[in-house]
Structure 1
Amino acid sequence: MPKNRTITIIGGGFAGLTAAVTAAEAGAEVTLYESHHSLGGRARTADGPYLTNEGPHAIYDGGPHWTWLKQRGLLGELAPLHTLDAARLRFHHRGALRRMPPLGFLRQTFRKAEQAPVDVDFLTWATGLVGESAARAAAAYSGVALFHHDPGALSARFVQERLHRAASVPAEAHFIKGGWGRLIDRMAARARELGVRIETSSRIDTLPTDGGPVVVATALASAARLLDDPSLSWESGRTVLFDLALRTRKGDPFALSDLDAPGWVERFTTQDPTLAPAGEQLIQAQLPIAPGESKADGVAHAERLLDLGFAGWRERTVWRREAVSNGRTGAVDRPGTTWRDRPAIDRGDGVYLAGDQVAAPGVLAEVSFTSAVEAVSLALRATRGTREAQPLDLKHA
């Protein structure tokens, strides 16, 4: 294999493994470095007995990664959510627990992102359509897919895409049985089958100098340090991760959505009982907190929601865990900006970025996937591999 057909990937999360498989399938010689002792990044699943992800994780079937994973047999078994279970979604609105959200909220969810302006904030735009109360409820609900403390202040186009897809019927969101770590295991096995050299516990502090393209698939802050480029920044969310195991009780809701302030609490064992020991159920929440708010503020929000929907949860608790996640919830776009304004994938001199805060379309993991495929496509083109890898048409993605 010629030297200029080698690709180095730094970061072994979902983006890095997507890049590794894509490059290897195109015939490149690939080496992937991961600083942690295991692969996965934020897609890791903890070891038992509680198979928690780093925050709630879902995969949306409307995105390009769905088809890509399915074609390669990597998607694996999904955890089914039955109709009766889904019907146990509850809404906290105007201080009370309800079975249905306001009608104006439902009307807003049907609108596609293309109908929303880029340069106006979501709350202003939606208020003109459905009134302020329903607009605020819709903004809060969208927090399940963007994890920001004030979604109404973000670009209407950005928020509406996430609202429309998060509230779609039938649901676009699906769950990997056994946790996202199972998906990572399958992707890593596929990469190794293709000849990718994977080195874990390998922290890279300086870029390789062998002349081949490098795909940096780390958190954006880490990429900025590695590339010594402080311009690599973009706004992200700040959240409290709240994991809880309860003794099982009939009547608990599947999930509880706060429409008064962004917040979502979900019982993940509803669709996948394997995530906790028999007789117990696993609940995960990711509560946005504003600048100046503390972990205690986010935990108190979660506990208020639990008090409303999960009777006797304190007495039933057998395990709990809390943590703060800073800037690790993907990019958020302010009015007047779109994904095209985020840090570019092509950094010049054979260096490319991949991850969920760079210039690629989609929601949640879709941004990581699309940027990874595009980064490899550009890298292969730069080494005159145009037949093997044509660039993605991101204009219409």
Structure 2
Amino acid sequence: MERIQSNTRTHIHVIGGGLAGLTAAITAAESGARVTLYEGHRTLGGRARTADGPYRTNEGPHALYHRGPLCTWLARRGLLGPVASVPLLEGLRFRFRRAGALRALPPAALLRLSRRNPRTAPVDATFQEWAAGQAGDEGARAAARFVAAALFHHDPGALSARFVQERFSRLTSLPPEARYPVGGWARLVERMAGHARGLGVAVETGARIDTRTLGELARTGPVTVATSLDAARVLLDDASLTWESGRTVLVDLAVRTRRGDPFIVSDLDAPGWLERFTAQDPGLAPSGEQLLQGQFPVGPDVPRAEGTARAEQLLDLGFPGWRERTTWRSEALADGRTGAVDRPGTTWRDRPAIVRGDGIFLAGDQVAAPGLLSEVSFTSGLEAALLAVKDAGGSSGRRSGSGVDLNRT
């Protein structure tokens, strides 16, 4: 990368080409700024990448939530593209593991708790304490394990009641909020990248930015660091950039199609979740095969093998004969890569701030921004870009409203 000579602050730089970085680049460019986006990998997408080949798995976010700000923002720009919702008949194949058996319905207490307004849940109490007072110990434990699908955390009951209930209420809303980008998240990334380039954003892939290069970029204009929090901590040499995240075993496998397989199996005996993603998007696997994706949170010192064993137990229960039917399998341990979780007494406002000083702004899924799952990356990227444009002195060029409420959780 050639050395930067200019000392004028008219150029906005975005480091990281994932969802947060693409959002920041588009927002800044829509405000009339000159923008360059730097991505260390050869392709854009970050954790929103979709695997190549016949089995189109995702590492990061799996669903959009249509009542959230990200869907609104994408739709207003014609970037949402085709999305699949949960098929009605498949929704009837939702199963729950309770007391070691597969059941068609969760405990009634879980359903009652799902209707509680999140604003009634206290920030300072644990979810288990508050929920037990609302629906009893059994309902509270079941709800905590169910909502682990949106938290990737081994003990949601120990987290802030407000934080968990906000996610629980959205995860259980009817009709379901979840919308799945057809073809995987890579299609959405391609649309966002094309839109960014159409706005004049210069995209440099394979661009490794280190601390020295960051300093050079910062002399020519504001910089948004839209990387993982671990990478940002090193790049900015800022030990304060830490926040708790989940630790979960990710299991992906393709099995030959069998009539009667469930759509989702939620483990209410221990946090765990299996979902048949080809139910809503058959093109994610070859004809005659089904793509299953699951996540099984484990504690800080628990070996990956324990999560794998729990996954196989749930597969045994929900997908009989899955071993003989398996045509492909992959698994990984995601540690600190699944978004922020808030302990009692904290909210998203207590996470690492977007504004870092000296024209540096931060975006990502563990940054001080509201939202569910991928919405945190989006809202932080949007806010970082708006602040960067303001820091650069604004623009006399075109402007576009964000079209979102940044205070929505």
Per-residue deviation at 1:261? 1.2
Relative to structure 1, the CA distance from residue 199 to residue 249 in structure 2 (aligned partners, 3 Å threshold; closer, same or farther) is same
2:268 is aligned with 1:259: yes
**Residues 5 and 380 in structure 1, CA contact (< 8 A), matched pair in contact too:** no
Partner of 1:167: 172
Aligned residues: percent identity?
63
Partner of 1:245: 254
* Distance of 1:135 and 1:329 partners within structure 2: 23
* Distance of 1:335 and 1:94 partners within structure 2: 29
Normalized against structure 2, the TM-score is what? 0.94
2:29 is aligned with 1:24: yes
305, 326, 333: which one aligns with 2:314: 305
2:398 is aligned with 1:360: no
Partner of 2:236: 227
Letter paired with 1:122: F
294, 306, 309: which one aligns with 2:303: 294
Letter paired with 1:358: V
CA RMSD between the two structures: 1.6
2:226 is aligned with 1:217: yes
Partner of 1:179: 184
Partner of 1:385: 394
Partner of 1:100: 105
Letter paired with 1:323: A
**Residues 141 and 262 in structure 1, CA contact (< 8 A), matched pair in contact too:** yes
1:105-120 equivalent positions in 2, closer than 5 A: 105-120=110-125
Per-residue deviation at 1:393? 6.7
Relative to structure 1, the CA distance from residue 182 to residue 394 in structure 2 (aligned partners, 3 Å threshold; closer, same or farther) is closer
Relative to structure 1, the CA distance from residue 277 to residue 395 in structure 2 (aligned partners, 3 Å threshold; closer, same or farther) is closer
Partner of 2:146: 141
Per-residue deviation at 1:389? 7.5
Partner of 1:281: 290
* Distance of 1:233 and 1:180 partners within structure 2: 27
SS of corresponding position for 1:131: helix
* Distance of 2:50 and 2:113 partners within structure 1: 34
For structure 1, the 5+ residue unaligned runs are none
Partner of 1:343: 352
Per-residue deviation at 1:311? 1.0
* Distance of 1:94 and 1:161 partners within structure 2: 27
Per-residue deviation at 1:111? 1.4
Per-residue deviation at 1:293? 1.0
**Residues 247 and 279 in structure 1, CA contact (< 8 A), matched pair in contact too:** yes
Per-residue deviation at 1:77? 0.4
**Residues 243 and 366 in structure 2, CA contact (< 8 A), matched pair in contact too:** yes
Query: Which stretches of structure 1, 4 residues or longer, exceed 3 Å deviation after superposition?
Result: 386-397
* Distance of 1:259 and 1:380 partners within structure 2: 46
2:155 is aligned with 1:150: yes
* Distance of 1:224 and 1:291 partners within structure 2: 20
Per-residue deviation at 1:81? 2.2
Q: Deviations over 1:211-260 (max 9, x none)?
A: 30000000001000000001000000011110100000001000100111
* Distance of 2:405 and 2:315 partners within structure 1: 45
36, 42, 63: which one aligns with 1:37: 42
Number of corresponding residues:
396
Partner of 2:95: 90
SS of corresponding position for 1:274: helix
Per-residue deviation at 1:382? 1.5
Q: Deviations over 1:147-181 (max 9, x none)?
A: 10000000000000110001110001111100001
* Distance of 1:364 and 1:304 partners within structure 2: 27
* Distance of 2:393 and 2:204 partners within structure 1: 27
Q: Deviations over 1:288-346 (max 9, x none)?
A: 11111111111111100000010100110111011111101000000000000000000
Q: Deviations over 1:254-286 (max 9, x none)?
A: 010011111100010011100000000000011
* Distance of 2:301 and 2:135 partners within structure 1: 31
User: Quick check: 215-224 or 287-296, which moved more?
Assistant: 287-296
**Residues 46 and 52 in structure 1, CA contact (< 8 A), matched pair in contact too:** yes
